[in-house]
Copies of this chain bind each other. A is one copy, B any other.
Amino acid sequence: MNVAVTGAAGFLGDRLINAILAEDSPLKVASLLLVDTCVPRPRKDSRVRTLALDLSSPGAVEQIVTPERHVLFHLAAVVSGHAEADFDLGLAVNFDVTRALLEAARKRANNMRLVFASTVGVFGGDLPPVIEDWTAAMPQNTYGVAKALSELLINEYSRRGFVDGLVVRLPTVSVRGGAANRAVTSFASGIVREPLRGEIAICPVDEAQRLWLCSPRAAVRNILHAGTLNGAELGAWRVINLPGITAAVKEMIQALREVAGDEVAARIQFEHDETAARIVGSFPCQFDTKRAQRLGFVADRDFAEIIRNFIEEESETKVSQTV
């Protein structure tokens, strides 16, 4: 199979690539194209090619969507805080690029599998207590709007047989490695990652704020699973709310305290940020994901386990960097 990943230099993209290239990968990969605005980290694997590309530039999508392309994981996006600050950029990158990819697939490819990373941020407004697959997307942020627009088009292009699309709505991914980003949920990783590194973390929302979370490990496993799932199993709606766990900020901090001790947990400071608190507060935190689980998508056990996995992986990274 000829596979491509956009957003390949991103945190999830990088991990997804590892999983795609792994021996136990469910995808039999003949070639793998890594695409991002800056050149993605190269791999010691003859199947891999890297490409630095602004997807919103003219002719860009045709470099990715070719007649030979079988699977495209489209992760590239302007994150939530950035899209809220720059409306035009948010729509251009998070929606217009999706549309261009769909049009290219329709015209050039042969029922290409498109896996699209969407978000719990499509939800907002006056919501029922538990989100189901037939709950309306009424996003209260530009990022969520662009993702919801993309979802509708992917479902429609799939219905018309132009593409074989599949949308996974990711919970807030925590704990992300690397550095903070402009996602309004960036703190959900920062309040674990920074204290564990001996640094102070700022939490912009109230400790009672509840989140819908999944680990990077579960996120990657589920995105990859979406690459191989039979599209017909999804019926008339190619959009899936992925499994996750619900935790309040104070429960996340309590889990950190249990795993890493009081001293580490004491490195979290609260500084209210109105925009972040409003947008995060508009996201739902309880889901019924029976459909996703029936389709083989997985959830984490609890947040303490997520923290333990993060510590383990960070120390492995350190060892491999030292070596």
Chain A residues in the interface with B (C-beta under 8 A) = 87, 124-128, 133-140, 142, 145, 148-149, 152-153, 155-156, 159-160, 235-237, 239, 282
A280 to B133, CA, bound (A): 22
A135 to B272, CA, bound (A): 33
Determine whether the beta carbon of B145 is less than 8 Å from that of A134: no
Copies in the complex: 2
Minimum Cβ distance to chain B for residue A239 (Å): 8
Determine whether the beta carbon of A236 is less than 8 Å from that of B125: yes
Minimum Cβ distance to chain B for residue A282 (Å): 8
With CB as the reference atom, state the residue of chain B lying closest to A134: B136
Q: 13 extra interchain contacts, Cβ-Cβ under 8 A, other than A87-B160, A136-B137, A152-B152?
A: A126-B133, A126-B134, A126-B235, A133-B136, A134-B136, A134-B138, A136-B237, A137-B137, A138-B155, A138-B236, A140-B159, A142-B156, A149-B152
Determine whether the beta carbon of A156 is less than 8 Å from that of B134: no
A282 to B159, CA, bound (A): 13
Residues on the B chain within 8 Å of A152, using CB: 137, 139, 145, 148-149, 152
Determine whether the beta carbon of B135 is less than 8 Å from that of A145: no
Residues on the B chain within 8 Å of A127, using CB: 134
With CB as the reference atom, state the residue of chain B lying closest to A84: B160
Choice from B124, B128, B156, B237 contacting A145 with Cβ under 8 Å: B156
Determine whether the beta carbon of B237 is less than 8 Å from that of A126: yes
Choice from B156, B160, B236 contacting A126 with Cβ under 8 Å: B236
Residues on the B chain within 8 Å of A140, using CB: 159, 236
Interface centre among A87, A134, A140, A148 (most CB of B within 10 A): A134
Choice from B133, B138, B149 contacting A237 with Cβ under 8 Å: B138
